[in-house]
Structure 1
Amino acid sequence: MRLLFVCLGNICRSPMAEAVMRAKIAAIGLDQKITVDSAGTGNWHVGEPPHQGTQRELKKASIPYNQIRARQITTDDFQTFDLIIAMDRQNEQDLHRLAANMNNKANIRRFMTYLNDQPEPDVPDPYYTGRFDEVFDRIDRGTDRILETLIK
């Protein structure tokens, strides 16, 4: 199983989700069966490490992130990944638009569909809100549910 998290610039939400999911997969010994990556729909931050706020939250949880660098989604990603998870509705719409003109193998879902007990449809972008702690909490809970779904 190959899993890709996608947000706008790939420095806040999606690399946080990538790092959290990788740690959870490694903790249960499935890192050889489930591959995780992240990307952005935009190219503003390509090559950059995660945002300082994302780094801070991952450090607090003792989750490694040093290997993560921002990248932009490519057409190959729609063939390579089995599941592409958008962090908000706009990312989801952008992904469907990009996938429309190709033979898309991937299942595209929005992250918050895994947290259907929450009223918000999106993972808010902490680049604008500054609430990296709230985003981490949401990603932590959501990745638990995603992992449960993958294991079934």
Structure 2
Amino acid sequence: MAQRSILFVCLGNICRSPLAEGILRHLVEKVGRHHDFVIDSAGTGAWHIGDPPDRRAISVAAGHGVDISKLKARKVAKDDFDRFDLILALDSSNLKTLRELAPEGSRATIALFCSHALGAADDVPDPYFGGHADFEAVYRLLYRGCATMVEGPSDEPLS
């Protein structure tokens, strides 16, 4: 089986996208398919380049047995549009930015996370200005979407 590459993108790459990356890595490792995937995350903004995820994201993930503490924020790069099969924006604003940044003829499919994974045109809310409960709600939403991507049903399952 050829490797499948997925990039999760939010604004600063410290809350939603590292959570999504960590959750999907955790799920594919759990089913013994981690060698089948390249999973990464990035942000459309450059404020946090090199920083670890937000401490609240790290805490919520750890509470579910997912370690994202070693991830480092980075900004989406032009070559990402050819390195990844699928680029999933966590909200419609970042989806718009990704479509504007995508070089003509790039190979990546760019989609909204909830639309691709859950069949809903919803944004994953940004928990940055919220508290633990907001991060927990985002974790649960991302987990549901990532689990659906791994296990189905989906128009485009990971297998």
Q: Give the TM-score normalised by structure 2.
A: 0.89
Ranges in structure 1 where 5+ consecutive residues have no aligned partner: none
| 2:105 alignment partner in structure 1 | 103
SS at match of 1:39: strand
Mapped to 2, the partners of 1:66 and 1:126 lie a distance apart of: 17
Question: What pairs with 1:14-29 in structure 2 (closer than 5 Å)?
Answer: 14-29=17-32
Percent of paired sites with the same residue: 39
* 1:2-151 equivalence runs, <5 A: 2-99=5-102, 101-113=103-115, 114-116=117-119, 121-130=122-131, 131-147=134-150, 148=152, 149-151=157-159
The structural deviation recorded for 1:103 is 2.2
Quick check: 2:8–2:41 contact (8 Å CA) kept in 1?
yes
CA distance in 2, matches of 1:146, 1:128: 28
What amino acid maps onto 1:92 in structure 2?
L
Number of aligned positions between the proteins: 148
**CA distance in 2: counterparts of 1:129 and 1:90, whole angstroms:** 19
TM-score (norm. length: structure 1): 0.93
| CA RMSD, 1 decimal | 1.2
73-82 vs 140-149, greater mean Cα deviation: 140-149
1:64 shift after superposition: 1.5
User: Structure 1 stretches (4+) deviating beyond 2 angstroms?
Assistant: none
Where structure 2 has 5 or more consecutive residues not aligned to the other structure, the ranges are none
- The answer as to whether partners of 2:46 and 2:74 remain within 8 angstroms in 1 is yes
